[in-house]
Amino acid sequence: MSVLVNKDSKVIVQGFTGNEGTYHASQMIEYGTQLVGGVTPGKGGQTHLDKPVFNTVKDAVEKTGADVSIIFVPPAFAADAIMEAAEAGIKVIVCITEGIPTKDMILVKEYISNRDCRLIGPNCPGIITADESKIGIMPGFIFKKGTVGVVSKSGTLTYEAVDQVVKAGLGITTAVGIGGDPIIGTTTKEAVELLMNDPETHGIIMIGEIGGGMEAEAALWIKENGTKPVVGFIAGQTAPPGRRMGHAGAIVGGADDTAAAKMKIMRECGIRVVESPAEIGAAMAEELSK
């Protein structure tokens, strides 16, 4: 099982022949991801990393049967790339690109809202199902197969949590990096819901940060529907109000999107919230041994 992607996922790379696309595509192939080709407009017909290059996503889908795409296209063209993937029938679209204008993402969200696809990101590390398929930029070697699902807005903080989980003797089913932008395709709640419904996942780690109301929304859903232990952490307890902390969405606006407010509501909904990011793995191990 696992969620969204597995060893049967057929993956293409948009922005395949660029520096980042090339590097991460080869890393994904090495991990064992079933990478079936890539798209770079104007380079259709060529071969890159022993895989076919196509001019359009539609061509790639028709020729390879791809159902997942990962996007490494520069910010100015990334919105277009997402919509192209959606239109071509890709089911899971993972957008790594950081710095897409918000106006573009408003239109993308609208465009994909009535299409049968799921967007992960943008501005995210991607998604990985341990030992099966890596569709992202995360260091694959730290992900060992196990029973813990991870949902996170941040890249390196996800790796931190995963590493702790593995060191605690557990492992990972699927880790979803949902991204740190104000508008993202898959929310914390949606990712938690997928993991909650996955029989292989026994516990869920939910990592959030200051800004927005997604963690609260997820917490309320968990309170009503949760069947597994959830460990939570919110980064930015020491962040001053009104300042953007790296991620475009990480800015404390009103009183509800501070770390303290989010942690409070998560606790009230039955989530085991840790104060220190160094305690995530141990807390999960403890919850699962109960």
Partner 1 sequence: MNIHEYQGKAILKSFGVRVQEGIVAENPEQAVEAAKKLKQDYNSDWVVIKAQIHAGGRGKGGGVKLAKNLEEVKQRAEQIIGMQLVTPQTGPEGKLVSKVLVTQDVYYPGETETKEFYVSVLLNRSTGRNIVMYSTEGGMDIEEVAEHTPHLIFKEEIDPKVGLQGFQARKIAFNLGLSGEAFKEMVKFITALYKAYEATDSSMFEINPVLKTSDNKILAVDAKVNLDENALFRHADYAAMRDLSEEDPTEVEASKSNLNYVKLDGNVGCMVNGAGLAMATMDIIKLAGGEPANFLDVGGTANAETVKAGFNIILSDPNVRAILINIFGGIVRCDRVAQGVIDAYKEIGNIPVPIIVRLQGTNAEEAKKLIDESGLKVYSAIQLKEAAALVTKVLAD
What would the x/- binding string for partner 1 be over residues 4 to 23, using CB under 8 A? -------------------x
| Residue of 157, 176, 273, 285 that binds partner 1 (CB under 8 A) | 157
Active-site residue (options: 24, 48, 202, 247): 247
Q: What DSSP line would sit under 145-186, residue for residue? A: EEEEEEEES-HHHHHHHHHHHHHTT--EEEEEE--SSSS-SS
Among 160, 193, 215, 287, binds partner 1 (CB under 8 A): 160
Is 247 an active-site residue?
Answer: yes
264: burial class by Cβ within 10 Å (0-12, 13-18, 19+)?
Answer: middle
Task: Tell me which residue of 260, 235, 230 sits closest to 246, measured CA to CA.
Answer: 235
Number of residues in contact with partner 1 under rule CB under 8 A: 61
Nearer to partner 1, 58 or 77 (CB): 77
* Alpha-carbon gap, residue 182 to 187, rounded angstroms: 11
Residue 152 binds partner 1 (CB under 8 A): yes
112 near partner 1, rule: CB under 8 A: no
Minimum distance between the CB of residue 107 and partner 1, rounded to whole angstroms? 6
Rounded distance between C-alpha atoms, residue 259 and residue 237, angstroms: 5
Do 12 and 69 contact (CB within 8 A), yes or no?
yes
Count of residues for the chain? 290
Choice from 103, 225, 256, 260 touching partner 1 (CB under 8 A): 103
Select from 83, 142, 170, 194 the one that contacts partner 1 (CB under 8 A). Answer: 142
| Ordered DSSP codes for 217-254 | HHHHHHHHH--S-EEEEEE-TTPPTT---SSTT----S
Q: Which residues bind partner 1 (CB under 8 A)?
A: 23, 75-76, 99-107, 109-110, 137-139, 141-142, 152-160, 163-164, 180, 182-183, 207, 209-210, 212-213, 217, 233, 235-240, 242-250, 254, 259, 275-278
